[in-house]
Structure 1
Amino acid sequence: MDADQDDEVSIGMLAVDQAIDTYKTEGGTSFFNYAEIVIKRRLIDHYRREQRLSRAIPFSSFGGDQQAENDGILNQIEHHQAMMEFQKKQESSDRREEIKQYTKLLNNYGISFSDLVSCAPKHEDARLRAMEAARLIAEQEELRTHLELKKELPLKQMAGLVKVSRKTLERQRKYIIAMTLIICGDFKFLQDYLKKSS
């Protein structure tokens, strides 16, 4: 095997690895077709780098119409991957913006993120009861209005409506307020997180 063939074999093997790593079944293309496209693309790139494509390897040797079709499939795959990457970045940016808005809203109630870490109920059943209290406030307009206007829990109105004592409500005040703000606000990512964790 000469050096050129050795290079081609190495490039082919790297292309197979790349195809294994990047293949997605949603594209509708079989793995073998996809791998063939990736290998051909890598080899063409290699030939271009070596400046031998125009002299030694005519495009027709890669299948003419088949090559155009393969390029179309590869472009679709690359476009899909680029869109997925863009959506991830956009989602990450939206999530950061949402947390910034939520932090600002918490500050209006005298609550910080570090407060939430220290005041979050440690036991799951206590957390669930605190969430029930938050949902009660979110669902009842009178309770919600009291919270929004006075920036405090409507403890008197909540008596008898929840299964926890007033003392417990006072101890979990910041956590309950913070959860209520998520439920009532326009916080898609935080609401999704709450659904998954509850």
Structure 2
Amino acid sequence: MTDAIPLTVLTDWLHRFRDAVVAQRDWLTELDSAIGDADHGANMARGMTAAVEKADQTAPATADELFKTVGMTLVSTVGGASGPLYGTFFLRLGATLGPVSDVDPAALAAGLRAGLEGIVARGKAEAGDKTLFDAVAPALDAMDAALAGGASAGTATADAATAAATGRDATIALVARKGRASYLGERSAGHMDPGSASATLLFETLAAAVAG
């Protein structure tokens, strides 16, 4: 399998994402305090810490087992919206990848897309709603475009991370239409969506793990 991504890299990605949300916990909480419940940073840090710990303990041998473990742990340990949304994302990702230990970049992109579809099914978010969708969707579009053009997994995931950050920054000007932030109406404009911020960390750490 050319340019295949081994399970060790996917596991490293989860460790890096855990480290990133722990390191940025206060920033994510600060973002959420402006337009939400001020718990996104704490929830993500607690959830990913528990999920990675569980994965390390059980040492899954295949991608579906790894992401099922992470997804189920997030759903069971994280309150608010982030647990069910990220949990669903990882569960769909694992189910789509299946019982493999090496993942083709195109298969990973398809799995990530299935994860986004799971988020949409749960949260009904669309582009411009000022949610994590606004970072994840452009990231996946960029990844698909790069792979379609023959780019390596490293280039494709780096493009995805850049697009996620652009989408994240664009949420500042948006008026929230979903979640707790939507209660603020026009006052939600001028603030970055915390979900899009953590989603950008997800793609930045994926790119870092693939790059090694």
* Shorter-chain TM-score range: under 0.3
Between Structure 1 and Structure 2, whose CA radius of gyration is higher? 1
Greater fraction helix = 1
TM-score (norm 1): 0.28
Tell which has more relative contact order, 1 or 2 (C-alpha 8 A, sep 6+). 2
TM-score (norm 2): 0.26
